[in-house]
Structures are given as C-alpha cells and as structure tokens.
Amino acid sequence: MSNPTYEALMAQVRTTRALAQVAGLLSWDQEVMMPANGAAVRAEQAAALEEITHQRNSDPRMEEWLDELDQVELSAEQSANVRLTRRSYERTSKIPATLATELARTTSQAQGIWAKAREANDFEQFSPILQTIIDLKRQEAACLQRDGHTAYDALLNDFEPGMTVVALQPLLEGLRPRLSDLRQRIADSTMDQPQLVGSFSSDSQLALARKLADTVGYEWQSGRLDQSVHPFSSGTAQDTRITTRIDASDPLGCLYSTVHELGHALYEQGITKELGLTPVNNHVSLGVHESQSRLWENQIARSRPFCEWLAPHFIEAFGDCGITNADDLYRTVNKVETGFIRTESDEVHYNLHVLLRFELERELVSGELDISDLEAEWNRRFKRDFGRDVPDAAQGVLQDVHWSVGLFGYFPTYSLGNIYAAQLDGALRDQVSDVDAQLKKGETGEVLSWLRSNVHHHGSLYEPSELMRRASNQSVSSEPLLTYLETKYGELFDL
C-alpha cells in the first residue's frame, strides 16, 4: 500500500531529476551540435535550470516529508530512495542558490573558453576563468565540509559517496611503485610491437564502431552514437547518448573509445526501469560507472579471445594496414608507449595519468598550489612519472575538459573504476564458465547478463563499497588490478 507522504516526496524528486537530465542533455548538445555563438545564451539557460532545480531540491517541505518517513516502515527500495533524497536535500540546503547558479553559469561559459585555449595552445587564456571556478568550488566545499574531513573530501563525495582522501590516497598511491616498475621493464624490453599503416576512412571506422555496439548489446532504440572532439556518454536509460572521435591515422582510438563509452551506456540501459525517475534508478557512483566502461574496454575488448573475433572484421574494414591476424591485433591494441594524452594511454600508464591529476587538484582546492604555477607543476610532475618533457599545453594541462566544468574530485574515480573492473572481472570468470570461448565467437550475452544481475539492476540500492562487496565477494583492493596488469603485460613482453 502506498504512503501519501512517500508519493509526495517522489513526485517532487522525479520532476527535479527530469529537469537535471534536461540540463545534462543541454551540455551534450553544446558539445556535439550547437553553434559556438550560442554559448552565452546556453550559459544563462544552464543557470536558470540550476536555479529551479536548486529551489526544488531545497524545498522546506522535503525535510518535513523525510522526517515523517523516518518513522514509517518502507520497502528496501523505498528506504534507499528516502536515504538518497535526504543526502541530496542536505547537500543542496547547505549551498546558497546564488552559488549554485553562478557555478552553473561560469562552468557553461568556461567550456568554450577552454576549447579555444586548447586550440590556441595557450593556458593563459583559460587560467582566469579556471581561477574563478576554483574559488567557487572552494566556497562549495566549505558549505559541505564535515568535521574531521577535508574540503576535497566534500567534493569527492559528490562522485564517490562515502569515499575520503584517507581511504583513497593509499589505494591509489599504492599503484605507483608497481606500475612504475612495470612501465620501466616494458620500456627496457626489446619485444617488437606491430604498427598500423595507411589512412582509415571515417565511414569505415564508424561502421566498425557500430558493429561493436551491436556485438556488446547496445539498444539502438534507446541510444545513439555521434562524433565529438572528446568522447563521452550522457543521457538516461531510454535516451542514452555516446560519442566517439575519428582520427584518419588511428582507427583504434575510435573503436576503443566507442567500447569505453558503450560500457557507460550499457550500465545506464541496464538500471531497473520500473523505478522511473526515483533516486534508486540511477548509477551508484562514478567509480562504479567507470568500472563498466573500463571492464568492457580492457578486460573484454582488449583480451586475446575478443581480438580473435575482432581481427577478421578489422581486416575486412581496413584492408592492408599492417594487421594480418588476431595476434597482430592483440599486440597492437595492447601496445605500451609513454604518451601525453590520458584518454589515449595504455593500461600500464593510465593510472599514472590519474594520479598526477589527483595530486594537482587536491593542492589547487586546498590552496597549496597557485593557478599561476599549475602548468609548470603539471610539466614537472609529468617528467617525474613518465620521463618525458611535455611539449605544449594542449598535450598537457589543457587536455582534459573536466576542470572547465567544475569536476574537481572526479578524476580519482577513473582509477577506482580500474580497480573495481579488475575485481568484477575476477568474479565474472569465477561464476561464468567458458567466458573466453564465448568472446572468441563475439558472444557477450552472458557477460552482459552477469553485469546486469550483479551491478546494473541494483542502481543505487546499495552504497558503492557494499555493491562491490556483493558483486566481487571482496573488499575494495588494488591487488586484483596490479596482478591482472603484471600477468597480462608480463606475458605480452616476455618479462
């Protein structure tokens, strides 16, 4: 039997979430198809939507409904909806509407400024508005910061609920010694790595990207695939939107960024739809979200068995390109080299890229690092971790869009996603027989079904750590990821 108070609360929440989703799609439209001259108007639209959603999220009636429901017996899903709504209400109520609106307006403007600065390869064009964003994020963190926690904890909690720097820092920093050692041993290896040759048409790349989407179970009636400068995923279960990028000299960038974004999209499409726009019908965290994209991209699509299926399709699409068999393709898609771009980096280097950003943004938020020193510090620390000098800002401090849209606290979830993915892959292979035999034939139905049952369908019913414990039968640890990388690349490079 329904509870009138619960129904009133959910009616408020559903409308608010719908407005927030419109704001998210507005950002997608801006990146993919909107004219540059409309940026200022879209900034005002984003600010107006933020003002309305802030008002609804902080409506005083919410607290009355929540307090009343604390005394009522509810189902597990209803209890989770109440818990998640209270978290959202308390967060919103602590932040002044003027601050929320100004953040939305400023970050909407900043995306265009960042894009122009990156094109011009000039950090100074971007640094003034980045300083404004950092000042606003510090104000936001001060409103949210709890006793005994840092300002960065407050921002991190938006993306990975319950996570703190105290728990996260040893987890991530613990990756550096063994990854650095693995990176160096591979660099010292004399093993040859195949090279792609030729030019690869956009049509052929997109056609094969769509074949990959079909293979992993993407629901086209609920989703689409487009091109953009920076691949990303957005939307909802019934309106999933992903993008990829095209490079005529490297089709693997298109194919594997597509698989990565498909992992995000499959998660969204798999969340229980019966719960509508309620809070439970949402991804539980960005780390778990990233685990889905990284698992599909790396443990599945970069595996030797999957390459056996993919190789003939790749050769059919691109002809004489330096790839003649599955082993060539497997070694090529797992090539290791020290590059500058995070999104193009291999599995060995990727988390070192994230650690760099994790350090820098913590210091920016705390005030230990001035914006005037950011580019130099980026370059210095990149040389420390990767042994190479950064050639320019576009390949360094300006390469990522995240800071321009205020996503401080987001970057660590990428490495958390890798950690979670390795744990999930181990559990998947323990519980599903003949995974590799299925992948050799391009059959991914059982993989998707397992992820649906153990991750997707739960939405936000459990906290991230509890979801991972239930799915992988272990607490969060970086050991499965390190073991996976050392085993895989040890074999590839005969280490």
Catalytic residue among 50, 140, 261, 297: 261
155 vs 141: CA distance, rounded Å: 6
Residue 344 annotated among the catalytic residues of the structure: no
Using the structure block, give the residue that is written with the tokens 């950003």. 357
Burial class, 192, CB count within 10 angstroms (exposed 0-12 / middle 13-18 / buried 19+): exposed
Q: Which residues are catalytic?
A: 261
